[in-house]
A = this chain, B = another copy of it.
Amino acid sequence: MSLPQVYRYVDEHLEQAIELLQRLARQPSVSAQNLGIAEMADLCVSTLQEEGITAQLLALGDSPPLILGEAVGASPRCLMLYSHYDVQPVEPLDQWQTAPFEPVLRDGRLYGRGVSDNKGDLAARLFALRALRAVTGELPTTVRFMLEGEEEVGSPHLAGLMQRYGHLFMADAGVLEARTRAANGQPRVVLGVKGLLGVELVARSASRDVHSSLAPVVPSAAWRLNWALSTLKAPGERVLIDGFYDDVRPWQQDELEALAALPEDEHWLREEIGLHAYLDQVSGLEYRKRLFGQPTCNICGIQAGYTGPGSKTVLPGEARARLDFRLVPDQQPGDVLGKLRRHLDEHGYTDIQIRAQGSGLAPARVPIQDPFARFCAETAESYYGQPALVFPTDAATIGLSTLAKFLPYTILLAPGAPGYWGSSIHAPNEHIRISDLADAIKFHTLLLTRFAEGAF
């Protein structure tokens, strides 16, 4: 086992890893704005090829291409590594201290859009392969890369792409975006995600906004939307859509034990966002049961009439609200969408239009006792020197369920992210610490080496 030499290689060639990440981060690739996506896909292919990985673009209609990369190793056992090459929009631009697409090193940190989420993952994984090959002359195991180009907009084509190309991604196990460590340094293994149903509700009462002096006689889209929303959720937070909770699977005993073993660190966020208390003053295990186990009905945004400077007394002819429902096993987005429509109809809001944002994503969870989950936790403890925190699920959503539906092997979120809890992903001044990048690369060299040994 030559891992100490591999680690030394990583330390001695870290500048090359930074250069690799800078090259990826310099290319804008904002899927929400269709900015640089094709160029980024081409850059990914050429970068993979330079690293000795065969690569091809897979497309479906005019979707951003999915990229398949393959590198054969000494062992035929295959690990699938998923990253995405698109990034979040950079706005508000004036809050960046340096240009988002000109990644720069400053005080041991690299700043730029995507350096953490998610080009940092890709760079760390590619450099892990380079280090293993440079030191040992070969890869210990076979690797398949899956690089998606529209993760930041909810993966609308992922199911279609999997239906058509899923067979090309056969493997023995897979990991999604890597997870950062907890604030106390413990690595995190995350075994599931919530589902997501995004909708826009549109109320229309007139073909245009009218002068508000007409309020005694002209119906208001803003009031109508307000009243309709009030029927969906009342103070107390319970979602009032008939049957909404029917398919919520109770926590399993081992999931509850995993939740109980997680640290109490919820006060950090609470203080940062100026909260006096969380809802119902929950804390500790109750906080975690609720955060990870409760499905939600959230107002992402609402807009009607005039809210600009000065005043303009209009009566809105149209009002719109964006909602997102986070779903837990075994809720399904299509089923919840149907229940939402029925609910509005039964409450007299047949006129309110529901625009579903895509077909949604189902929730997904790997069992706590899954062997690959245990393998990842053990590998993380072995590298980072602290026991891994095992989360039964994340509170957020990625396309895990879509992959799980088409790929017949365990897929989860493993440690090894070059980012950390303060990386400001999705926000201005996204950055990583270079020391975390080195750890991320080394962790992946260990992961691939142990994976080849058939350690699970």
Taking Cβ atoms with an 8 Å cutoff, the residues of A that contact B are 32-33, 153-154, 194, 196, 198, 205-208, 210-220, 222-223, 226-227, 229-230, 233-235, 266, 269, 272-275, 278-279, 282, 287, 290-291, 293-294, 296-307, 309-317, 319-320, 322, 324, 326, 348, 357, 394-397, 426
Residue in contact with A307 in the complex, picked from B207, B220, B303, B317, CB distance below 8 Å: B303
**Are A218 and B273 in touch, CB under 8 angstroms?**
yes
25 sample A-B contacts, Cβ–Cβ < 8 Å, listed by A number: A153-B310, A211-B396, A213-B397, A214-B269, A214-B291, A215-B298, A216-B291, A216-B294, A216-B395, A217-B266, A218-B278, A219-B275, A222-B302, A226-B226, A226-B229, A226-B230, A227-B234, A227-B235, A299-B315, A299-B316, A300-B307, A301-B306, A301-B307, A302-B319, A303-B303
Extra 18 A-B pairs, beta carbons < 8 Å, given A216-B279, A302-B305: A198-B313, A206-B274, A210-B273, A216-B290, A216-B296, A217-B290, A218-B275, A222-B299, A222-B302, A223-B299, A226-B299, A299-B316, A300-B305, A300-B312, A300-B314, A301-B304, A302-B302, A313-B324
**Are A212 and B326 in touch, CB under 8 angstroms?**
yes
Copies of this chain present:
2
**Are B218 and A299 in touch, CB under 8 angstroms?**
no
CA distance A213 to B296 in the complex (A): 8
CA distance A194 to B218 in the complex (A): 17
**Are B279 and A213 in touch, CB under 8 angstroms?**
no
A275, A299, A305, A324, most chain B CB atoms within 10 A = A299
Given the interface pairs A234-B227, A326-B215, the reply to whether A305 lies near B313 with Cβ below 8 Å is no
CA distance A219 to B348 in the complex (A): 28
**For residue A358, which residue of chain B has the nearest CB?**
B311
**Are A153 and B273 in touch, CB under 8 angstroms?**
no
**Are A217 and B307 in touch, CB under 8 angstroms?**
no
Residue in contact with A322 in the complex, picked from B32, B297, B311, CB distance below 8 Å: B311
User: How far does the Cβ of A106 sit from chain B's closest Cβ, in whole Å?
Assistant: 24
CA distance A275 to B315 in the complex (A): 14
A214, A217, A226, most chain B CB atoms within 10 A = A217
CA distance A217 to B320 in the complex (A): 25
Given the interface pairs A273-B218, A291-B214, A326-B215, the reply to whether A305 lies near B311 with Cβ below 8 Å is no
User: How far does the Cβ of A375 sit from chain B's closest Cβ, in whole Å?
Assistant: 27
User: How far does the Cβ of A301 sit from chain B's closest Cβ, in whole Å?
Assistant: 3
CA distance A291 to B213 in the complex (A): 8
**Are B274 and A207 in touch, CB under 8 angstroms?**
yes
**For residue A152, which residue of chain B has the nearest CB?**
B310
A214, A233, A313, most chain B CB atoms within 10 A = A313
CA distance A424 to B335 in the complex (A): 47
Residue in contact with A275 in the complex, picked from B206, B213, B309, B313, CB distance below 8 Å: B206
CA distance A293 to B299 in the complex (A): 36
Give the 3 A-B residue pairs with the shortest CB-CB distance, closest first: A301-B305, A207-B274, A222-B299
